[in-house]
């Protein structure tokens, strides 16, 4: 591993000061489960590594009146063990369980997964369905960006050089909901998705389905046409589900790589979408996971 200076700021303002002084020579790290591997493989060669794990302001899942904030140092296992996250955001909890393995989940963070911005990031699809906002702080103040705008391409985000993601904010659904995350993999741990589908159902005055994908597009993607069909149908029968799955498969544009071919991925999106809709209709207790 190439040498670098490790900075361990104790506050957000101290971290911003380091970023301001070092500019492009610095990169950020939270859990480090991606960043340290990149450093090992010389995929990144920063002069300064800014480790955020010493900043207490970035810890905790904070419930407010109508939203929840997942701060930058919250690990996947902390989400899995949190009662409110299980109650309100089951699809996100299932995505956390489908990520890596129980040991890595003690370090890997939800925010880090979004900032790594790889198309196979497991947190992306559920946060798209829950319409999450990325909270950013910089020397010029704070701003908030929807997840869909935050990730601009494979490993690319709209985070500027002198900014830090402090957390993710999600509105609490005050209606009955169900949700699931279905992930096609070759084995059930330590594997990256060949394709995955997240589906949530909010049962308020009107029923609202949301569907998003993982590992089948360069940027985060919702199945807009499939959602329209489902949300405008008074009765969801097998033929509607079949049509929605076809619209979902039409919406994605995957690549062929070592994990799966483009064709296989498109087929799996159709199949996973069908299963995900059915699971959501059956109710909140249904668990997704690896397929």
Chain residues in the site for other proteins (CB under 8 A) = 1-6, 8, 32-33, 36-37, 39-41, 49, 51, 53, 77, 100-104, 106-107, 188-190
Give the shortest CB-75-to-other proteins separation in angstroms. 9
Q: Which is nearer to other proteins, 112 or 173 (CB)?
A: 112
CB of 102 to other proteins, least distance (A): 6
From its phi and psi, is residue 25 left (phi > 0), alpha (psi between -120 and 50) or beta?
alpha
Residue 199 CB-density burial (10 A; 0-12 exposed, 13-18 middle, 19+ buried) = buried
- Which of 12/36 has CB closer to other proteins? 36
- Cβ 31 to other proteins, closest distance in Å? 8
- CB burial of residue 117 (10 Å; 0-12, 13-18, 19+): buried
Which contacts of 58-66 are long-range, i.e. CB under 8 A and separated by 24 or more positions?
A: 58/12, 58/30, 58/166, 58/167, 61/85, 63/172, 66/171, 66/172, 66/174
CA dihedral defined by 68, 19, 31, 88, rounded to 10 degrees?
10
Q: By 3-state DSSP, what share of the chain in percent is helix, strand and coil, each rounded to 5?
A: 40, 25, 35
What is the smallest separation between the CB atom of 260 and other proteins, expressed in angstroms?
19
Nearer to other proteins, 3 or 205 (CB): 3
- The CB-of-235 to other proteins minimum distance in angstroms stands at 37
Instruction: Report the nearest approach of other proteins to the CB of residue 50 (Å).
Output: 12
**Of the candidates 146, 178, 268, 157, the residue with the CA atom closest to the CA atom of residue 215:** 268
**Residue 49 or 125: which CB sits closer to other proteins?**
49
Largest CA distance in the chain: 61
For other proteins, give the closer residue by CB, 137 or 192: 192
- 36 versus 118: smaller Cβ distance to other proteins: 36
**Which token pair is 277?**
């809709």
């Amino acid at each position: 591993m190439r040498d670098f200076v490790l900075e361990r700021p104790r506050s957000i303002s101290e971290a911003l000061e380091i970023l301001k002084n070092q500019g492009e020579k610095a990169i950020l790290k939270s859990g480090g489960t991606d960043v340290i591997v990149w450093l090992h493989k010389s995929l990144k060669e920063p002069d300064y590594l800014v480790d955020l794990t010493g900043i207490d302001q970035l810890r905790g899942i904070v419930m407010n009146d109508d939203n929840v904030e997942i701060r930058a140092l919250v690990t996947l296992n902390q989400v899995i063990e949190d009662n409110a996250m299980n109650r309100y955001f089951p699809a996100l909890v299932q995505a956390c369980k489908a990520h890596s393995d129980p040991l890595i989940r003690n370090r890997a963070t939800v925010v880090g997964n979004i900032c790594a911005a790889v198309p196979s990031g497991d947190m992306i699809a559920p946060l798209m369905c829950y319409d999450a906002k990325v909270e950013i702080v910089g020397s010029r103040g704070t701003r908030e960006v929807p997840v869909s705008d935050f990730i601009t391409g494979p490993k690319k985000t709209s985070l500027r050089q002198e900014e830090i993601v402090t957390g993710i904010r999600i509105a609490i659904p005050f209606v009955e909901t169900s949700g699931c995350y279905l992930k096609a993999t070759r084995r059930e741990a330590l594997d990256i998705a060949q394709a995955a589908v997240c589906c949530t159902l909010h049962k308020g005055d009107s029923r609202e389905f949301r569907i998003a994908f993982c590992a089948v597009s360069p940027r985060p993607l919702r199945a807009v046409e499939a959602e329209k069909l489902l949300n405008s149908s008074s009765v969801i029968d097998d033929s509607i589900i079949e049509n929605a799955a076809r619209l979902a498969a039409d919406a994605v544009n995957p690549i062929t790589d070592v994990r799966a071919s483009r064709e296989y991925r498109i087929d799996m999106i159709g199949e996973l979408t069908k299963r995900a809709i059915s699971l959501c209709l059956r109710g909140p207790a249904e668990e997704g996971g690896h397929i």
